[in-house]
């Protein structure tokens, strides 16, 4: 039987540790991806992910279900990411794991792609990551939450504690900067609509 | 929400882009974009940027966090054991055990030492060999010169031509002087050549001894640094 998040939260609050472990299993990938995209470091993202679940587990008795469990978890994670960025006092950086071979990395992700496709995707992925690293924290986080986690503008606004219009403005400004940056890197060609 | 979209309202365009707006607003924006190339281009560029964003995927990571029952009371999160997790981690990402790191360091060190010694020994052997060949050539040359000089010294004197009577005595005196000087010079040269040969032979002996000592030292060091079975 598949429990909903709310049901698992209720069971966890009742002392069922395994229910919380199911929540971890369900959400650790998205939470890790969020942390990685915000801070840009694999090991630190994993630490943030672990810490987020630990804090959630500790704070579970105080979680009354006024928000979705995932939104609550995202908030905890973003707070940890903000602390990390503040501690390191710098923008997130793109980082390939030490000793990693980009071709091997790409090969792990899909054997059906050709080498050329893999190389192109790696190049594009690196360009996107680099461009994202240039954005201000608020714009970057807004894009990540909207683009990769499918949150609504209202959810993002609640999470970031800002008006809905601000979320849209951050998103537009962030996407515009990204577009220019990717154009500069040759990943996007200008005036697309003229060719469509 | 208004049904009248104002051209250049980027926030509304973003809502349309993500399909996160009211149906009426969406309808209004859709109608406007058809007739407005500027907004259509803006929208297209934003859509292309979104497509590019889709390529950014975080690296695979070993997660598997789990609260173990034993530590639940103390609120400690523990990693799930790797063998029960469904995810695998690339071998290059897994840290080597300490003993393997020490072993690798030892192998690298010994290999470097052995290569260095082998190179040094080879260089010494090569240089010594070159020196010996040079000495042999010089000794052979000197020995040849020694034999030539010795044959010249022992050869019978050429009978002098018959000179005029008045200059005979003077010419004979000069000839005697030249012969005497030549014999002295030849004797000196022979003596010098013999001494040179002796010096070179001594040098070759010394070089041979030194080369042998270096070779033995190299063998000894190699045997000391080779790993024991």
Average pLDDT value for residue range B176-196: 72
Residue by residue, what is the 3-state secondary structure of B87-152? CCCCHHHCCCCHHHHHHHHHHHHHHHHHHHHHHHHHHHHHHHHHHHHHHHHHHHHHHHHHHHHHHH
Q: B91: distance to nearest CA of chain A, Å?
A: 10
CB atoms within 10 A of CB B43: 20
Q: Cβ–Cβ of B59/A105 closer than 8 Å? A: yes
Does pLDDT of A171 surpass 90?
yes
More confident residue, B172 or A69: A69
- For residue range B199-224, what is the model confidence (pLDDT) as tens digits? 667 767 777 777 777 777 777 666 66
In this prediction, residues B157-170 reach a mean pLDDT of 51
Residue B85: closest C-alpha in chain A: A25
How many whole angstroms separate alpha carbon B59 and alpha carbon B62? 10
Confidence of residue A113 (pLDDT cuts 50, 70, 90): low
Averaged pLDDT score across all residues of chain A: 84
A64 touches chain B (CB under 8 A): no
Share of chain A above pLDDT 90, in %: 57
B28 compared with A114, residue with greater pLDDT: B28
Each residue's pLDDT tens digit, B119-133:
655 555 555 555 555
Tell me the pTM: 0.56
pLDDT value at B161 more than 60: no
For A162: left if phi > 0, alpha if psi spans -120 to 50, otherwise beta; the answer is: beta
Q: Element (H or E) spanning B78, and its range? A: strand B77-79
Looking at per-residue confidence, does B27 or B8 come out higher?
A: B27
In chain B, the percentage of residues whose pLDDT exceeds 70 is 43
The structure tokens listed for B207 are 């070089």
Please tell me which of the candidates B41, B58, B69 has its beta carbon nearest to residue A32: B58
Which residue on chain B is closest to A97 by alpha carbon? B93
Instruction: Tell me if B52 and A32 make a contact (CB, 8 A cut-off).
Output: no
Give the best residue of A8, A16, A21 to mutate against chain B (max B CB count within 10 A). A21
Name residue, tokens 């049901």. A7
Half-sphere exposure (Cβ direction) of A157: Cα atoms closer than 13 Å: 11
pLDDT band at B84 (very low <50, low <70, confident <90, very high): very low
CB A38 within 8 A of CB B58: no
pLDDT band at B167 (very low <50, low <70, confident <90, very high): low
Which of A187 and B1 is assigned the larger pLDDT? A187
CB contact under 8 A, B53 and A147: yes
For range B101-107, the mean pLDDT: 67
The closest CB to that of A187, out of B20, B52, B62, belongs to B52
Chain-centre distance for alpha carbon A130? 15
Cα–Cα distances in Å, from A2 out to A5, A7, A8, B47, B48? 10, 10, 10, 36, 37
Per-residue model confidence (pLDDT) at position A35:
95
**Which stretch of DSSP H or E encloses residue B79?**
strand B77-79
Model confidence over A177-188: pLDDT tens digits? 999 998 887 777
Give the DSSP letter of residue B65: E
Q: What is the pLDDT of residues A58-90, one digit of tens each?
A: 999 888 888 889 999 999 999 999 999 888 865
Sequential DSSP letters for A103-116: HHHHHHH-SSS-HH
Instruction: pLDDT band for A121, please (50, 70, 90 cuts).
Output: confident
**Considering chain A, what percentage of its residues have pLDDT values greater than 70?**
83
Q: Which of A33, A191, A194 sits opposite B58 (nearest CB)?
A: A33
Q: How far is CA B117 from CA B111, B127, B222, B226, B229, in A?
A: 10, 15, 8, 12, 21
C-alpha distance from B227 to closest chain A C-alpha (Å): 29
Give the model's pLDDT for residue A20. 93
pLDDT, one tens digit per residue, over A27-47 is 999 999 999 999 988 999 999
Q: Residue B178 has which token pair?
A: 């030249």
How much is the pLDDT for B101?
A: 65
pLDDT, residue B118, reads 56
The pLDDT value given to residue A195: 38
Host H or E run for residue B66: strand B65-67
Mutate to test the interface with B, among A24, A109, A129 (most CBs of B within 10 A): A24
- Kindly report the CA angle at A117 between A111 and A118, in degrees rounded to 5? 55
pLDDT tens digits for range B36-56: 999 999 999 999 999 999 989
């Amino acid at each position: 039987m598949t429990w909903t998040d709310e049901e698992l939260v209720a069971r966890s609050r009742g002392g069922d540790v395994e229910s919380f472990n199911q929540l971890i299993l369900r959400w650790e990938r998205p939470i890790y991806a969020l942390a990685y995209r915000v801070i840009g470091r694999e090991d630190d993202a994993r630490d943030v992910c672990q810490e987020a679940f630990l804090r959630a587990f500790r704070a579970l008795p105080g979680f009354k279900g006024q928000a979705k469990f995932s939104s609550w978890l995202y908030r905890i994670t973003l707070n940890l990411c903000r602390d990390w960025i503040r501690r390191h006092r710098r923008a997130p950086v793109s980082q390939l794991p030490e000793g990693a071979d980009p071709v091997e990395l790409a090969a792990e992700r899909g054997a059906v792609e050709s080498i050329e496709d893999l190389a192109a995707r790696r190049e594009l992925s690196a360009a996107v990551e680099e461009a994202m690293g240039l954005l201000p924290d608020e714009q970057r986080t807004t894009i990540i939450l909207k683009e990769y986690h499918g949150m609504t503008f209202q959810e993002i606004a609640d999470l970031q504690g800002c008006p809905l219009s601000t979320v849209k403005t951050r998103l537009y400004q962030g996407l515009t900067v990204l577009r220019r940056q990717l154009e500069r890197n040759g990943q996007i060609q200008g005036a697309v609509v003229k060719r469509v | 929400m208004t049904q009248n979209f104002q051209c250049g309202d980027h926030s509304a365009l973003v809502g349309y882009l993500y399909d996160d707006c009211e149906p009426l607003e969406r309808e209004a924006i859709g109608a406007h974009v058809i007739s407005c190339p500027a907004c259509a281009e803006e929208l297209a560029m934003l859509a292309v940027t979104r497509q590019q964003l889709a390529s950014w995927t975080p690296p695979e990571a070993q997660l598997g966090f789990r609260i173990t029952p034993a530590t639940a009371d103390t609120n400690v999160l523990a990693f799930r054991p790797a063998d029960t997790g469904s995810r695998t981690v690339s071998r290059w990402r897994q840290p080597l055990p300490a003993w393997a790191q020490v072993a690798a360091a030892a192998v690298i060190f010994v290999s470097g030492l052995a290569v260095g010694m082998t190179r040094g020994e080879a260089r010494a052997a090569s240089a010594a060999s070159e020196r010996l060949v040079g000495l042999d050539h010089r000794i052979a040359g000197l020995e040849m010169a020694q034999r030539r000089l010795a044959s010249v010294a022992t050869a019978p004197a050429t009978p002098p031509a018959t000179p005029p009577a008045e200059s005979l005595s003077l010419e004979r005196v000069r000839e005697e002087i030249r012969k005497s000087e030549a014999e002295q010079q030849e004797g000196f040269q022979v003596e010098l050549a013999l001494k040179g040969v002796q010096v070179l032979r001594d040098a070759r002996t010394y070089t041979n001894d030194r080369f042998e000592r270096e070779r033995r030292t190299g063998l000894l060091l190699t045997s000391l640094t080779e790993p024991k079975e």
